[in-house]
Structure 1
């Protein structure tokens, strides 16, 4: 499936590479559970997200392979998914009809709650990770970001200012009430939920920016990925120019993720069908290119429990879970 790294599973560990087929569903986002090792969620759409419905797929990894644990259908495309940070059974998805859905894997009747305030597709949803906060942010093609408390029936705040479609909204893992957003307006913006009118605005690319992520080890460092095929690192203490640029993708970078285990490792996936692994501290930063999809690769996540384990999903109707050799952690 991926090139690089072979060999069987060690005793008591998960197999190196597993795949799960999503018949008639195109993968948009995948995320490992922060609570349950081996459980992951995938947000999917029919007909490449252009028409039809969406399905939230919950998968379980075992030594025998990946199997379906639960699935939930929605009447429009699902574009993103985030796990609750305070309940192992709860997830939130975002949809093409402008709504967010809160699901409970123990409640099979449908969503616990639906929030419908955005006027266009909701492309991004994220649950805060800082202590004491249980907040959700959503980013939409209506050019707004909304802040939600899952215990409250309507949004707490709407953040305006982007001049293009919002593709990604990600909470800081370090700074309470702080999140980043990126947009078709070519900017990265850093927001304080307590002061919504005063974001830091970074003209990060001369192209639409599709994804961003925060470094897990440095509260000032973010990565952006854009339609210009590049990834750029940004230090919030000096935003005049990127601290690094990573080149190698041949089509738009769809999603970027920092490693939870290593301060300078990150991963990216692209419309060029590849997933690439990078160490931005090295003179030759591209560590590995994994080519195991036959369509746009849209979803990407790195496990919090199994160092070096990666999940991705693509429009080729598959989710793959694997251990690229470049992320092998020395004993």
Structure 2
């Protein structure tokens, strides 16, 4: 499958993409100069049109940007995680820099996620300093710090089903489940594999199912009711899996992107091999998301400065 890039982030290497929960055509892209090692970062907001990607807004930051999440309470707000240990709150209706910057982490913020429960404006941030922080963006400082991981925390993802619950993936080889009311102890610690765990996501149709992606190039499924062993394992990538996302439209389908430059689609109920291998990046594929509004459509980005928006054949709605 060969696609033309929807957007080219010249001299900025893509780390994360996320579709707007409000507008089906709108996408946020978090990027960094020099592969995130040095230099600044840029947040791009792009509208996908029949003629290609149209840049709506761009915001520069003084350090690399590694992740982005849209607000669930305001169509114009986004939060990014930066290499300087801060999170930034942006308003695309405003012409200048961030509305707010909150810096408490001691190292890079590699993951940010906005709670989908909508009862509060809660965000979690995952950092290379080994901690996770809970934020209410209306408050001047974090609400809680979650400790316990023994290595870099790569991502923290809210449960779409269970209020005040999120999962985290870490270089300490574990998947952990947290309750925001008990920040000093994880509800569950799952030894996920014998390699660093770089990413995790919740199944959107079963509150007990979580998936992890690891440096060993395997995707594993976990049932929180019986977490001693994975309930399935998906193989096919040849290098570390950078990000996985579960479909919001089909309970057993997901997509993954990897340092092997590919994006792959899967159905864990049907087979352990990928449904489709999408080879369109010439560098690490790092960012990935499903469009909530258009079944089967995904966006991805990579270190080759390219962002694609497309619907893989394997994800086309049946009928």
Q: TM class, shorter-chain normalised?
A: over 0.9
Find the partner of 1:51 among 14, 35, 38: 38
Give yes or no for contact 1:60–1:67 (8 Å, CA) kept in 2.
yes
* Number of the residue aligned with 2:201: 213
**What is the CA–CA distance in structure 2 between the aligned matches of 1:112 and 1:298, rounded to whole Å?**
27
Q: Is 2:304 the partner of 1:316?
A: yes
Once superposed, what is the RMSD of the aligned Cα atoms? Answer: 1.0
Give yes or no for contact 1:250–1:272 (8 Å, CA) kept in 2.
yes
* Number of the residue aligned with 2:251: 263
**What is the CA–CA distance in structure 2 between the aligned matches of 1:174 and 1:29, rounded to whole Å?**
23
Q: CA deviation at 1:106?
A: 0.6
Kindly tell me: are residues 131 and 103 of structure 1, through their superposed partners in 2, closer, same or farther at Cα, counting changes over 3 Å? closer
TM-score normalised per structure 1: 0.95
CA deviation digits over 1:296-331, x for unaligned, max 9?
000000100111111000000010001100000113
Kindly tell me: are residues 202 and 84 of structure 1, through their superposed partners in 2, closer, same or farther at Cα, counting changes over 3 Å? same
Structure 1 segment 167-206 matched on structure 2, within 5 A = 167-199=154-186, 200-206=188-194
Give yes or no for contact 2:219–2:233 (8 Å, CA) kept in 1.
yes
Q: Is 2:113 the partner of 1:112?
A: no
* Number of the residue aligned with 1:298: 286
CA deviation digits over 1:118-173, x for unaligned, max 9?
00000000000014132000000000000000110100000000000000100000
Q: CA deviation at 1:205?
A: 1.0
Secondary structure of the residue that 2:6 maps to in structure 1? strand
Q: Which moved more, 1:279-288 or 1:206-215?
A: 279-288
Find the partner of 2:114 among 127, 131, 154: 127
* Number of the residue aligned with 1:94: 81
CA deviation digits over 1:11-47, x for unaligned, max 9?
xxxxx86521111000000000000110000000000
Q: CA deviation at 1:257?
A: 0.3
Number of equivalences: 318
Q: Is 2:28 the partner of 1:31?
A: no
Q: CA deviation at 1:64?
A: 1.3
CA deviation digits over 1:173-227, x for unaligned, max 9?
0001000001000000000001122311000010001000000000000000000
Structure 1 unaligned spans of 5+ = 4-15
- Runs of 4 or more above 3 Å deviation: none
* Number of the residue aligned with 1:12: none
Secondary structure of the residue that 2:314 maps to in structure 1? helix
CA deviation digits over 1:218-275, x for unaligned, max 9?
0000000000000000000000000100010000000000000000000000000000
TM-score normalised per structure 2: 0.98
Secondary structure of the residue that 2:275 maps to in structure 1? strand
Structure 2 unaligned spans of 5+ = none
